[in-house]
Amino acid sequence: MSPSLTVRRIVADQGAVLRELRTASLRDAPYAFGDSLEDALSADAAVFDAAAARHADSHTATSFILYTEGHPAGLIGANFESAPARRAFVFALWVAPAVRHLRGGELLVNAAIDWLASEGAQQIYAWVTDSNTTAMRFYERLGFVATGDHARSTQTPEQWETLLMRELAGAAPLASAQ
């Protein structure tokens, strides 16, 4: 029988859970993220405590956690950039290998999109490493398309990343925006 999967927004006292999921994701899939495992491991626990507390009630940045039978098993971040365009991003998406292909990733992305939309987003952006074909296919299946923006990874400059975007239903098409 498939395990049941649920997603909930992070709460203020989940700094240790955030740290555990973030280090697990960097250990499992270092090719997928801009941060390094070493930085995450050497960061003070207080950094994760502060992030969890901020993400629990911020209107500009948050995290959602995937649970399987009550145990944390995945993570996604969502935020609005501070630049004037205030584009909405999902990032740091990770699902534990034991529960992949069960729509946990889709649940996380949908929760993040719903939150970003409730805060006013009309388009959702995600940077994906070009060599990460699984993530590329995953996002495309969820309606994301390439924007044409392409950049070197800050952490691994020999790798390139593609910016994907999904237009939310009901949002005005870009071409007709004033």
Ligand X SMILES: CC(C)(COP(=O)(O)OP(=O)(O)OC[C@H]1O[C@@H](n2cnc3c(N)ncnc32)[C@H](O)[C@@H]1OP(=O)(O)O)[C@@H](O)C(=O)NCCC(=O)NCCS
135: Cβ–Cβ under 8 A, 6 or more apart, which residues? 32, 93, 128, 129
Of 89, 65, 60, the residue nearest 13 (C-alpha): 65
Q: What's the start-to-end Cα distance of the chain, in Å?
A: 51
106 scored as a contact of ligand X (CB under 6 A): yes
With CB under 6 A as the contact rule, the residue among 53, 102, 163, 171 that binds ligand X is 102
With CB under 6 A as the contact rule, the residue among 52, 78, 93, 165 that binds ligand X is 93
Site for ligand X in 25-44 (CB under 6 A): 29, 32
Buried b (16+ CB within 10 A) or exposed e, 11-25: eeebbebbbebbebb
With CB under 6 A as the contact rule, the residue among 46, 101, 170, 173 that binds ligand X is 101
Kindly tell me which of 25 and 62 has the beta carbon lying closer to ligand X: 25
Of 2, 1, 5, 11, the residue nearest 109 (C-alpha): 5
Length of the chain: 178
124 scored as a contact of ligand X (CB under 6 A): no
CB under 6 A: which stretch of 10-18, 53-61, 135-143, 165-173 binds ligand X?
Answer: 135-143
9 scored as a contact of ligand X (CB under 6 A): no
Binding site for ligand X (CB under 6 A): 29, 32, 93-95, 100-106, 128, 132, 134-135, 137-138, 141
